[in-house]
Chains A and B, each alone.
Chain A
Amino acid sequence: MRASLMPLHDHKGGLMIAVKATLMRDLTLMLRRRGEMLNPLVFFALVITLFPIAISPDPELLAVIAPGLLWVAALLAALLSLDSLFRSDYDDGSLEQLLLAPQPLAALGLAKVAVHWLLTGLPLALMAPLLGIMLALPAGSYAVLALSLALGTASLSLIGAIGAALTVGLARGGVLLSLLVLPLYIPVLIFGAGAVQAAIMGDGVSAHLAILGALLAASLMLAPWAIAASLRISING
């Protein structure tokens, strides 16, 4: 045969290079569209504003329901931003390239989820104490609120990414995404809001935070595989 030789590559690794580049790429993209990044935060503040208007401006009443309200509103804000997690990559074709990279897809997916948490969950957690003041959240629970949200939203991003990956190929995936993901959010919500309530009542919060940590550890172990499998399904069309 005529064939001259063209060397075939062995798979050389370089996973860290690929993961780091994916992290940097998604961070750059998000930071270039700051408006989009602010949307969940504005949504969070808006929803919190609705409750005193709809229920009562009475600080004593608000103080009772504040932990739950803050957690539910933050959860919805995090959910709102999930739909776009893989969508633009799907639309412009870079998702199929991501799937064809000679790297474990679970690790690359995890990098994308990490960026989502860093630019959505973490800012929500940092902003929550401010909104807590507006809801007359009793003193002594502010740090726990931020900490529980920071821990909890990481699990929410991971679990939600499974739903986002499953629905990314669908034209109207947004509402379906909420239907798939919200039931799975309930354990995180229970222990997250529970932590803040325990802090208000002066009980120990370490048990709650430990369980939130355990949920995060479990999500970290299992979710990346589910995300990878789901992306493969979605790219199949």
Chain B
Amino acid sequence: MWAFINKLRSPKWFYAISAKLQPFFWVAAAALILAGTVWGLAFAPADYQQGNSFRIIYVHVPAAFLAQSIFVSMAISGLVYMVWKIKVADMAATVMAPLGAAMTFVALFSGAVWGVPTWGTWWMWDARLTAMLILLFLYLGVIALRGAFTSRDSASRAASVLAMVGVINIPIIKYSVDWWYTLHQPATFTVTGRAAMPMEMWVPLLIMVLGFYSFFIALTLMRTRSEILRREGTKRWVQDLVTGQPEEKR
């Protein structure tokens, strides 16, 4: 455990190890998302109530899962950075924020599109959509705060604190929004009905969720690597890498 943490201190080590890990996650993401899409769109049965429009679930639900998980990972990375001063953790948190915001937006947008056949309107103050909207604001806050500081160290630590404060609040926000929603006349059914889903429907969903997670890991690795190069640009090993040592040159 400690050996691992100490290794993480070195961006160079992370740069090397992530190069090896990255391809696996890209392949897994491509395969899972392709399989899930084909299965979900072509082979899974239509919903008896919503017909084919329910198939948007295969984008909406994985995106919503990811939106929340990314915020949690961002907060954990922030904690790791604050406690052990591991710069790679902060670089990962930096690149996760826009990705999480994008996923939140995808979840919101797919929810809105889904609303048209379901509710006959683009927007409904549904508990899940509302919580997702608040999550988007939390992401934007973290991104804006990080951008507002001139000192990189302060920016990183401020964003870490805010992410941690946010992650403590997310369950409270979710709970209170749910409570608020049930109080104000719930609509006929929520978007992601919790009703038992037949296996032919949820297996492709599970595949899609796994695919989205692989995609997230692969993309985070990739973007963290470029963040490492950007921040460590003055370091010797990066300059060696860029100018190219003889054996790599050819």
Contacts and interface: CB of A to CB of B under 8 A. Distances in A.
A215 B179 CA distance: 15
A170 interface: yes
A180 B141 CA distance: 5
A172 B141 CA distance: 14
A60 B145 CA distance: 43
B176 A191 contact: yes
Nearest to B159: A166
Interface stretch (A48-56, A86-94, A228-236): A228-236
B165 A226 contact: yes
Contact of B161 (A172, A183, A215, A226): A226
A70 to B, nearest CB: 17
Which of B138, B141, B157, B179 has the largest count of A CB atoms less than 10 A from its CB?
B141
Mostly, the B contact residues are: helix
B141 A179 contact: yes
Interface stretch (B4-12, B62-70, B166-174): B166-174
Contacts of B168: 222
Interface string A163-206: 00011011011001001101110110011001000000000000
B149 A190 contact: no
- Interface size on A, as a range, is 20 to 34
A210 to B, nearest CB: 13
Contacts of B180: 190, 194
Given A166-B162, A183-B138, A215 B172 contact: yes
A79 interface: no
B163 to A, nearest CB: 11
A162 interface: yes
B200 interface: no
B140 A179 contact: yes
Given A169-B154, A191-B176, A184 B145 contact: no
Interface string B62-106: 000000000000000000001000000000000000000000000
Contacts, number: 80
A194 B178 CA distance: 13
- Interface size on B, as a range, is 20 to 34
Contacts of B162: 166, 180
Given A176-B144, A183-B173, A187-B173, A237 B154 contact: yes
Contact of B151 (A183, A190, A230, A237): A237
Contacts of A229: 82, 157, 161
B232 interface: no
Nearest to A173: B148
Contacts of B151: 236-237
Contacts of A179: 137, 140-141, 144
Nearest to A182: B137
Interface in B146-199: 148-151, 153-154, 157-158, 161-162, 164-166, 168-169, 172-173, 175-177, 179-180, 183
Nearest to B164: A226
Nearest to B175: A187
Q: Which 9 A-B pairs have the closest CB atoms?
A: A187-B176, A183-B137, A180-B141, A190-B176, A190-B180, A233-B157, A187-B172, A236-B154, A233-B158
Given A166-B158, A183-B166, A218-B172, 17 more contacts: A162-B161, A169-B149, A170-B148, A176-B148, A179-B141, A180-B162, A184-B173, A186-B134, A190-B179, A190-B180, A215-B172, A222-B168, A230-B158, A233-B158, A233-B161, A236-B157, A237-B151
Interface of B: 82, 134, 137-138, 140-141, 144-145, 148-151, 153-154, 157-158, 161-162, 164-166, 168-169, 172-173, 175-177, 179-180, 183
30 contacts: A162-B165, A166-B145, A166-B158, A166-B162, A167-B145, A167-B148, A170-B149, A173-B148, A176-B148, A179-B137, A179-B140, A179-B144, A180-B162, A182-B137, A183-B134, A183-B137, A183-B166, A184-B173, A186-B134, A187-B172, A187-B173, A194-B180, A194-B183, A215-B172, A222-B168, A226-B164, A229-B161, A230-B161, A233-B157, A233-B158
